[in-house]
A and B are shown apart, each in its own frame.
Chain A
Amino acid sequence: MLVECQQLSKSFGQYKAVQDLSFTLQPGQVTGFLGPNGSGKSTTMRLMLGLDHGQGQTLFDGKPLASYERPARVVGAHLDAKFFHPKRTARNHLRMLAAASGVSNHRVDEVIDLVGLGDAARKQPRGFSLGMGQRLGLAGALLSDPAVLLLDEPANGLDPQSISWLRDFIGHYAGQDRVVLVSSHLLSEMQLLAHHLVVIGRGKLIADESLAEFVSRSTRNDVFVRTPNSDALIAALVDRGLQAVREGTGISVPGADTELVGAVAFSCGAELHELTRRTASLEEAFLEVTSQTQEFTMGGHGDDATAGGAQ
């Protein structure tokens, strides 16, 4: 199944939460949905599901979700870890959802075991931790074994073992030719999980490309080189049109590859003690790309604030 989001837009009064957002989700891969707080990720997911009314449309294999007889069998969504009645047992909550997709109680028990909620299945979820709430939400999304899985921050509150399980599970799920869209702030997890990224900032599309492409565009990708002939090497690199920045005992050459830097060093007779390709992490690439689109920014450290005040 192919999921096409076409020109999604949503405004709250004068505030434009999502602006003309278009992207396509491919089956067989996990798409990471990234953006700073308030960038419109959750609003976009709600628009995709028809929960919020806005402009544009989302097509699931060319058809709007509402045109399917059993939409719950097409899309499984987990948008929040607290969307349940606190006094309805976890199992009954899932039995209720099962009615929407027409799946049996046997499947309900299966999914409960799958997400590790077996011991809590007959308990009221009012006492559930965030992690248990996430498991219940995930169980609801997986109930009908849908072709499309939309998960909003599913790893929040999960312990490391559960996060690891979730990563493996989502990867395996997408591997069965399903569409998986996951939003998360845990960028280190996303780096291990996602094949493709959709990055938004202030409601606008910033990137829609593979994880490798996204990270490779970062200026943090460089070659680190150590040499006793640093002045000569810097001069030679600059002559070749490369940027060379002194960094501790070595030189950083952004945007270059090891072969090129090695060749330049060889040509100028510089003796190399270290030649390392450094790849930016997803977090570094993300922070770089979204630095101008942050809706909410944190204040500086206390020391900085004091220094600023003294100036």
Chain B
Amino acid sequence: MKAAFLYEWRRAVTLRSTWWIAGSALVTSLFFTWVAFKIETGVSNVSEGPLALAKHTSFAIVVNSMQGPYQIVTTIIAAFAAMAWGHEYRYGLTRVTFSSFPRRGEVFLAKTSVILIVTTLIWLVMTSSSVGLLKLIDSKQQISFNFFEKLTGSDVWASGDSGRLLNYSSLAFEMLLRTLAYVLILVLLVAAISAITRSLPLALVLSSIWPLFVEKLLLALSQALGKGRLGWLNDVAPFDNAERFVLWRAGFDLPSGSSAPGGIEHLITPWRAGYVFAAWALLLTAIAYLLVERRDA
């Protein structure tokens, strides 16, 4: 297994495309971080006090930068996953690989592991670079997990402030981790599609066209026909659930004034959507595995 892993690791890192993809994902995420920063700071007309501080210290900027353009950034990363099997079939490398590793399960496991590890590394670099960029473009930045909660009534009297900073580090982390979970599930799914179709372009096109057009069309149709007939589509649609999973922001609209603790109760919901998305990825991965095992190389 170690040999298969090392083989797959070298396969991935000795390709220039891998580095281009990682670099493109990084640059794109940094760009969106900058855009998110500009939007967040631009809308604030408060230059002093806790509200301004909340704006400038909000970890949500990073979360936003990861969540907002998630489809663009993750599609770039998904290209890496599509390459894992797509290149094998396109260039006849399956014969080289499977003659070295006749136990194909080892190759499948190694590929899956490397896809997940490299994706996690890219994500970590993207996230930490976003934090770094925020500190760079505004030296006053004190990146923390603080969010601003608006105070009302007696609290205002007691403190004399219009709001206070609350620390929701676990909540912020959970939101950020959901973006990681999303991208990991997505790369699994795209890798599975590329193994099933034996085509890198087809995997990328399918994984882009499906959520953008096919699924949207089906869901619109279900809406038009009424919930009775195709209402179940909302429950099982992979990318609609993925979107709910990654973009769920319950209680995170601070500092616009809503209550953060109230949002925590709803955090069960996005995970259910995440499970649906993951179930699709696992199903396709299982089909891909069976095909890789049984197909002639």
List of A residues within 8 angstroms of B214 by Cβ: none
**Which of B9, B102, B294, B296 has the most chain A CB atoms closer than 10 A to its own CB?**
B102
Please tell me if B38 contacts chain A, counting CB pairs below 8 Å.
Answer: no
Query: Are B102 and A49 in touch, CB under 8 angstroms?
Result: yes
**Are B3 and A97 interface neighbours, CB within 8 A?**
no
A270 to B145, CA, bound (A): 113
In the assembled complex, A41 has its CB within 8 A of some CB on chain B = no
The answer, yes or no, to whether A228 is at the interface (CB within 8 Å) is no
A90 to B273 CA separation, bound complex (whole angstroms):
45
Q: Which residue of chain B has its CB nearest to the CB of A150?
A: B99
Q: Is the CB of A71 within 8 A of B14?
A: no
Residues of B within 8 A of A140 (CB): 96
Find out whether the CB atom of A50 lies under 8 angstroms from the CB atom of B102.
yes
B14 close to A88 (CB less than 8 A):
yes
Residues A83 and B95 in contact in the complex (CB < 8 Å), given A49-B102, A99-B3, A100-B7: yes
B interface majority secondary structure? helix
Given contacts A49-B102, A71-B100, contact A85 B294 (CB under 8 A): no
Residues of B contacting A263 with CB < 8 Å? none
Give the chain B neighbours of A83 by CB distance below 8 A: 91-93, 95-96
Does B101 lie within 8 Å of A52, measured CB to CB? no
A73-120 contacts to B, CB under 8 A, are: 75, 77, 79-80, 82-89, 92-93, 95-97, 99-102
B272 at the interface (CB under 8 A from A): no
B9 partner residues in chain A, CB cutoff 8 A: 99
A132 within 8 A of B: no
Contact B102 A52 (CB under 8 A): no
Asked whether B99 lies within 8 Å of A85 as measured between CB atoms, the reply is: no
In the complex, A268 has a CB within 8 A of chain B: no
A307 at the interface (CB under 8 A from B): no
- Is B87 an interface residue when CB atoms closer than 8 A count as contact? yes
The smallest beta-carbon distance between B64 and chain A, in angstroms, is 36
Measured CB to CB, the closest approach of chain A to B147, in angstroms, equals 46
Residue count of chain B within 8 Å CB distance of chain A: 27
Instruction: Assess A66 versus B103: contact at CB under 8 Å? Given A99-B6, A99-B10.
Output: yes
Contact A96 B11 (CB under 8 A): yes
How many residue pairs link A and B with beta carbons under 8 A? The number is 86
- Residue of A53, A65, A88, A89 ringed by the most chain B CB atoms within 10 A: A88
- Find out whether the CB atom of A99 lies under 8 angstroms from the CB atom of B7: yes
For chain A, residues 14 to 72, give those with C-beta under 8 angstroms from any C-beta of chain B. Answer: 46, 49-53, 64-66, 70-72
A82 to B92, CA, bound (A): 8
Residues A52 and B100 in contact, CB atoms below 8 Å apart: no
Contacts of B102 on A, CB cut-off 8 Å?
A: 49-50, 64-66, 71
Q: What's the Cα separation between A52 and B294 when bound, in Å?
A: 9
B297 at interface, CB cutoff 8 A: yes
Contact A80-B10, Cβ < 8 Å, known A87-B16, A88-B15, A101-B100:
no
Residues of A within 8 A of B (CB-CB), count: 34
Instruction: Check B98 for interface membership: any CB of A closer than 8 A.
Output: yes
CA distance A95 to B9 in the complex (A): 11
Q: Residues of A contacting B296 with CB < 8 Å? A: 46, 51-53
- Chain A residues with CB under 8 Å of B95's CB are 46, 49, 51, 79-80, 83
List chain A residues, Cβ under 8 A from B11.
96
Do the beta carbons of A71 and B92 come within 8 Å of each other?
no
A46 to B94, CA, bound (A): 12
Say how far A179's CB is from chain B's closest CB, in angstroms.
Answer: 15
CB distance from B250 to the nearest CB of A (A): 45
For the complex, give the distance between the alpha carbons of A49 and B105 in Å.
Answer: 16
Contact present for B98 and A51 (CB under 8 Å):
yes
Whether, in the assembled complex, B17 has its beta carbon less than 8 Å from a beta carbon of chain A, the answer is yes
Q: Could you say which residues of chain A place their CB within 8 Å of the CB of B17?
A: 87
Instruction: Tell whether A100 pairs with B100 under 8 Å between CB atoms, given A53-B294, A87-B17.
Output: yes
Task: Write out the residue numbers on chain B whose beta carbons fall within 8 Å of the beta carbon of A50.
Answer: 98-99, 102
Q: How far is the CA of A50 from the CA of B95 in the complex (A)?
A: 10
Q: Are B14 and A102 in contact (CB under 8 A)?
A: no
- Given the known inter-chain contacts A71-B102, A75-B99, A83-B91, please indicate yes or no for A96 contacting B7, CB distance below 8 A: yes
Contacts known (A52-B297, A92-B10); A97 close to B100, Cβ less than 8 A: yes
Q: How far is the CA of A83 from the CA of B96 in the complex (A)?
A: 7
* Complex Cα gap A52–B96 (Å): 13
User: Which chain A residue shows the least CB distance to B10?
Assistant: A96
Cross-chain contact A51 with B10 (CB below 8 angstroms): no
When each residue 1-42 of chain B gets 1 if its CB lies under 8 Å from chain A and 0 otherwise, what string results?
A: 001101101110011110000000000000000000000000
Whether A70 lies near B3 (C-beta < 8 A) is: yes
On whether A49 and B10 interact (CB within 8 A), knowing A85-B15, A87-B17, the answer reads: no
Can you list 12 A-B pairs with a CB-CB distance of less than 8 A? Answer: A49-B95, A49-B102, A51-B296, A52-B296, A71-B100, A85-B91, A92-B10, A95-B14, A97-B7, A99-B3, A99-B7, A100-B7
Known: A79-B99, A85-B87, A96-B10. 4 other contacts (CB 8 A): A49-B102, A53-B294, A88-B14, A95-B10
Residues of chain A whose beta carbon lies under 8 Å from any beta carbon of chain B: 46, 49-53, 64-66, 70-72, 75, 77, 79-80, 82-89, 92-93, 95-97, 99-102, 140
- A-B pairs, top 4 by smallest CB distance, nearest first, are A100-B100, A92-B14, A66-B102, A51-B297
